[in-house]
Amino acid sequence: MPQRMPRPDARTILRNEALESSETSSVLWAAGDLLRQSEPLGDVEAREALARMTPAAACGALAAIDASVCARALSQALESAFDAGLEEDAEVRERLEQTAMDGLEQRDVVDCVLCAVATFDGRADLDSEEAASLREAASVLRGAVVVADAQARPKGRSLTALNARRRERADVLDDVARATAWWWSDFAGEEHDGLVELLGGLDVDAGEAATRDAVRSAITSGRDALGAALRVLDVGGPAVDDAQRWARSAAARSEADAIAFELSRTLRVEAIDDDAQTPSIGR
């Protein structure tokens, strides 16, 4: 995986590449970084750098990227962002935010490389075999990051603690890149600011959408949770032990709940046949 570089160095990298002092992977990242921006300030340099690259070098750079590292970086970023949201010490929060941003930058690097390779693939001088190899390598990488994204993206609300920094990164991208780069753009609007803090019970001035989310995620009361526990016991699944323990504790506190818990254990609907005799009511 190419090393992350600070964004302002992208053009410097390409100039160094002209002096043959930069690695292919870094050139791909820097070129992709410039090509994705809304202002086409570095387009010419990016295309010139890609024109000098050999297809074999581009394929090698793609194959060297380990998508599992990217997946771990995303997971760590989500965790650090969550921690940052609930951290009240400003210095510690700053460190956590930076750790989270570093993780997101690793995902961004892969996107930059794929963007650069797509441009490279458009070169007129590529023969069909070279083009096919390049597309295959890009397709394998793209497939791997799709899996990583599918695991991480649903948890994107954890990133709201980084919103000010994420907006800075999203703002320089063109529309297509911004839509792809969910790690910068999902829930990044000011209306989502303060969500993690709000959900953790901190006193913050949260955005409108964050406030709505807080209402939607209000945790159900224990009374309703017994009904849920009894259904979990019926259906099975990973929460059965939790449900059983909880239902037992509820049953110990209330006669109505105790009857419900007993019924959940003894009244198995799978065993009831169509000729079951209706019992009489005991009162």
Partner 1 sequence: MAERSRDGLAPADLDDDALLAEVLARRDAGRDGREHVGALVERWRKPALYVIRRVQQSYRMGSVDDAAELFQEAAAKLVERGLAQFRGGSPSELPPEGPPSGAAGRVFFLRIVKHTAIDHYRRHHEELAAKPGGEGDAPETSAPEAAVAERRARASAARQDAADLYWRAFSRLRADHPGEADAWEAYHHLDLDDHEACAKRLGITVASSYKRISRAQARLRLILLELQAEPGASLR
- From the list 82, 182, 183, 184, which residue makes contact with partner 1 (rule: CB under 8 A)? 82
State the Cα angle at 197 between 194 and 198, rounded to 5°.
Answer: 80
By residue count, the chain amounts to 283
In the window 186-225, what residues touch partner 1 (CB under 8 A)? 196, 199-201, 213-214, 216-220, 222, 224-225
Number of chain positions touching partner 1 (CB under 8 A):
64
Cβ nearer to partner 1, comparing 125 with 216: 216
Nearest CB to partner 1, comparing residues 128 and 221: 221
Q: What spatial distance separates the first Cα and last Cα of the chain, rounded to whole Å?
A: 74
CA distance 77 to 79: 5
Q: Which of residues 138-177 bind partner 1 (CB under 8 A)?
A: 154-155, 157-158
With both helix axes pointing from N to C terminus, report the angle between 10-18 and 24-35 in degrees, rounded to the nearest 10.
Answer: 130
Q: Judged by CB under 8 A, does residue 253 bind partner 1?
A: yes
| Smallest separation, CB 94 to partner 1 (Å) | 19
Q: Which of 92, 103, 20, 8 is nearest to 54 (CA)?
A: 20
Q: Give 195's contacts (C-beta < 8 A, 6+ positions apart).
A: 85, 157, 160, 187, 206, 207, 209, 210, 213, 214
- Binding part of the chain for partner 1, among 14-22, 46-54, 90-98, 247-255 by CB under 8 A, reads 247-255
Residues at the contact surface with partner 1, assessed by CB under 8 A = 82, 85-86, 154-155, 157-158, 196, 199-201, 213-214, 216-220, 222, 224-232, 234-239, 242-243, 245-246, 249, 253-257, 259-260, 262-264, 267, 269-270, 272-283
